[in-house]
Structure 1
Amino acid sequence: MTGGEHLTYVYAVVADSRELRTELSDVHGVSGAPVSLLGDDTTATTLEGPAPSFVISRVTAREFDERTLKTRFEDLEWLEAVARAHHDVVQTIARHGTVLPLRLATLYQDDDRAREALAAGRGVFAERLALLHGRSEWGVKVYVGSAGPPDDRAAADPASTTPVGPGKAYLRRRRAQHTVQETHYRNAQVAAENIEALASRYTTHRVRHPAQRGALAGPEENVLNDAYLVPDDRAQGFRTALTAVAVDLDGVRVEVTGPWAPYSFAMPPQPSDPPREDVAREDGARDDPLPDGPAP
């Protein structure tokens, strides 16, 4: 690596092991660059167990420096490609062991700066890796369906033989539509309460994300968007129990997705001297471009 021409791109923190190094030997990340582990030599003597390491690759400074990123992060096609590459690396690691995902475009001037950050955060990283060991993230969303257009039948009064004018008929249809929609919202509240009660039996931690809006939510209204940290040996029971929550509730759909790398439960480092740490998604938001991710 020629000084100044490349930056160190960090995907995640992992517990270093020979097996993981083997798994990563054929993995490529952002811009097709090979992925490797970067360790802190002082960690092995101060912590018990495998040493936390960064999962890294090198990217060109001309593509990822601060000035360029300001423009690049407005290019959705480029952003999606980087996000997919980042996500694929993290998910590959998650299939083979515990991973602490870091934010999209976590960058350092060089490997030495990255090692300094790893050394500074090694205690926190070790604690989080221990917390996440044997657990995965699962997403749970509740959607409310539309009541649909007003039904002419709703304007009819079976007890009356008096013709109803168009104005009154319209108001009756709107009231009927409103009543149906209110029922859907009440059912969604019941579903949310049932989810909270059931999830407590299977999960260890929960993060509540803002409900998705617009195109991300689709034709339905997203009213609940939670992430749960679930021990792997309870995952099947968790999925089965929560999928059945809304079976008998009209106008409500519950979506359970996972397992995912634990993005919602990670603690990204704060680089002391990076060229820039840009974030494709803000903390607590699941409106990110990560493909098929725990969405939030």
Structure 2
Amino acid sequence: MDETAIYVYGIGRDLPAEAVAGVRGVAGAPVRTLDAEGLTAVVSPVSLAEFGEDALRRNLEHLDWLEATARAHHAVVDAVAERGVIVPLGLATVYRNEDRARAALRERREEFARALARITGRTEWGVKIYADLAETAPRERKPAPADARPGTAYLRRRSAQRHDEEETRREILTLAGDVDDELCAIAATRRLHRPQDPQLSGERGWMILNAAYLVDDERAEDFRTAVARLAGTRPELRLQLTGPWAPYSFAAEEEAWTER
């Protein structure tokens, strides 16, 4: 039989066994809970042949493997989030055995307690804002003087065009900033992510904002309504709302999970 390790999906507090009942994780393994210091790790066994240090380094370079593992990871977090509060951990957080996983829980107890307090009663919503500069109505320009040389007229047109494009970008950025300000007024907090390349997002146009908002559950409807209203009153922008999600963007810092 292959040696196994412990894969940790996320951290909760006093999660009952029912929170993971029937949930399957990476490689179809049954998910269970592991308690220490009043915290509960959501875990499953994984093969060291696949998740050992060297094997994991190789597997992370294979997109099919990475996609399947990420899908299973997120499915576990989402399933538990529907039944309780969980701080999601990063993909492929693996410990050699239960003792090391419990030791990590003890070492980061205060950090996870703060994270749980921060996300309890709240969920994550994603908002992306796009604009298509090519579809923005061009400004009217003064015609070039009748006696202008063809080369001079061309340079003037190009200069005016660049000026118009820069002005349009500034105006769109201001509009997007206003949208973000209104949503921040509803959300408990907000995290900015790097805008995605159009080839990766599959969306046309310029992604101006890629943000995650942590919203009190009791204000979720206010948040959705605000996004719909802002989308209807800002024709220059295209707003995309996703969620609710488990609060990945607001989880505890994961870099400290190094001694495995």
* Equivalent position of 2:26 in the other structure: 30
| Distance in 1 of aligned mates of 2:14 and 2:45 | 19
Of 184-193 and 220-229, more deviation after overlay is shown by 184-193
Q: Distance in 2 between matches of 1:80 and 1:127?
A: 30
Matches within 5 A, 1:225-236: 225-236=210-221
Corresponding position: 1:237 with 2:222: yes
- Superposed counterparts of 1:216-295, under 5 Å: 216-217=200-201, 218-267=203-252, 268=254, 270-274=256-260
Change (3 A) 1:125 1:239: same
Q: Does 1:195 align with 2:193?
A: no
Instruction: Tell me by how many angstroms 1:242 deviates.
Output: 2.4
Cα distance in 2 between the residues matched to 1:253 and 1:212: 15
* Identity among equivalent pairs (%): 38
1:147-226 equivalences under 5 Å are 147=134, 172=157, 181-182=165-166, 184-217=168-201, 218-226=203-211
Q: What number of residue pairs does the alignment pair up?
A: 256
Q: Partners in 2 of 1:121 and 1:213 — Cα distance?
A: 35
- Tell me if the contact between 1:155 and 1:170 (Cα under 8 Å) persists in the aligned partners: no
Q: Would you say the 8 A contact 1:184–1:251 is kept in 2?
A: no
Contact kept, 8 Å, 1:205 with 1:228, in 2: the verdict is: yes
Q: Which residue of 2 aligns with 1:280?
A: none
Q: TM-score, normalised by structure 2?
A: 0.85
Q: In structure 2, the residue corresponding to 1:104 is in which secondary structure?
A: coil
Give the Cα–Cα distance (whole angstroms) in 2 for the partners of residues 28 and 178 of structure 1.
Answer: 55
| Contact preservation (8 Å) 1:7, 1:108 | yes
1:81 and 2:62 are equivalent in the alignment: no
Structure whose residues are more often helix by fraction: 2
Aligned residue for 1:284?
A: none
**Displacement, 1:213?**
1.6
**Structure 2 unaligned spans of 5+:** none
Change in CA separation of 1:257 and 1:68 when aligned onto 2, cut-off 3 Å: same
Verify the 8 A CA contact 1:26 1:34 in the aligned structure 2.
yes
Looking at structure 2, the residues matched to 183 and 255 of structure 1 have their Cα atoms a distance apart, in angstroms, of 24
Partner of 1:89, secondary structure, is: helix
Of 35, 40, 62, the match for 1:39:
35
Superposed displacement of residue 250, structure 1: 4.2
The Cα shift of 1:264 comes to: 0.9
Q: Which deviations, in whole Å up to 9, do the C-alpha atoms of 1:129-184 show, x marking residues without a partner? A: 11110001111221121415999xx9996x9999x989968985x67865764465
Separation (CA, whole Å) in 1 of partners of 2:114 and 2:242: 26
What residue identity is the alignment partner of 2:194?
P
Q: What TM-score do you get using the length of structure 1 for normalisation?
A: 0.75
Point out 4+ residue stretches in structure 1 off by more than 3 angstroms. 148-151, 154-157, 159-162, 164-172, 174-184, 248-251
Deviations 1:4-55 (A, max 9, x none): 800100000012233xx21312000111111010011xx2xxxxxxx21110
Q: Deviations over 1:69-105 (max 9, x none)?
A: 2221111111000000001111111122211000000
